[in-house]
Amino acid sequence: MRVSPPAAYNDSLLTPSSILLAAPPQLPEWVDALLAKLPGWAQSLILTLLGTGGGWGLLVIAFIDSSFGTLPVINDALVIALSLANPSRMVFYASMATLGSILGCLPIFYLAHKGGEAVLRKKASPERIERIRRWYERNEFLTVAIPAVLPPPTPFKIFVLAAGAFQVRVKYFVAALAVGRGVRYFLWGFLAVHYGEQSITYLRSNYIQISGVAIAVILLGFLVLRLAERLRNRQAPAG
C-alpha cells in the first residue's frame, strides 16, 4: 500500500530530526507496478528506506539486492525514477546504486573465495573446472564487468560466486564491478535526465541495443587500458 508523501520531497533536505517522520517518495505508476510484484515486506522496506534516506536508502536497497536478497529490476527502476524527479541529483543516485551493489557483492565473493571451488567440484568435472579457471585467470576483469553491466534477468550472482571461487584478485573484482555497474546506472540516469519520461519507452524498445552499447563501452575501455599497459611495459626496459 502506498502512502502519499509531501508534495515537495527532496532527499537533500532531510535532517536527523525529520528522518523518522519522512514519508515514502511519490513514485511513478510503472515503478509501483514493479513493487507490486515483490512480497509485502520488501515493498515496505523499499518505501521506508527511500522515505527515510532518499538516495542513501538506494545504497541500502542495492546492497540487499546484490548480497543475499533479491529485488529484481528495482535498482534500475529507482535510479531512473529518482533521476526523473530530481535531475540535479542523478550522479548521486547512480553513485549510491553502484556503491551499494559493490558492497553487497563482496560478502558473496569472500564466501566463495574461502570455499566456493569445493562446491563447484561437486557440479563439474575437474577438466571443465580447470578450463573455466584458465578463462577467469586470463579475463578476470571482463568476466565480471560484462555481466555487471547487463540488466536482469542476467544471473549475475553466479559470476560473483565463480569470481570468488577462482580466486579473482579483489582489486580487479572491485574495479570490474565499479565499471560495469557504474556504466549501467549512469547510463540509465543519463537517459532519464536527457529524455525524461520518454526514456522509459526508449529503454523498453531498445533494450538489446542499449545493452550492446554498454558492453562496447566496457570493451573499448578495457582495450585502451591494455594498450596503455603494454606501452608502459615496452618503455620500462628502455628507461
pLDDT tens digit string along 104-148? Answer: 999 999 988 887 667 667 666 777 777 777 888 788 888 888 888
Quote the percentage of the chain above a pLDDT of 70. 84
User: Tell me, what's the pLDDT at 107?
Assistant: 93
pLDDT of residue 64: 93
The shares of helix, strand and coil residues in the chain, as percent rounded to the nearest 5, are 80, 0, 20
Integer Cα distance of 183 and 233 in angstroms: 28
Q: What is the pTM of this model?
A: 0.78
Give the tens place of pLDDT for each residue, 215-235: 888 888 778 777 877 777 777
> Phi and psi at residue 3, in whole multiples of 5°?
-115, 125
Alpha helices in 27-169 (DSSP H): 29-35, 40-53, 55-66, 74-85, 90-123, 126-138, 142-149, 156-165
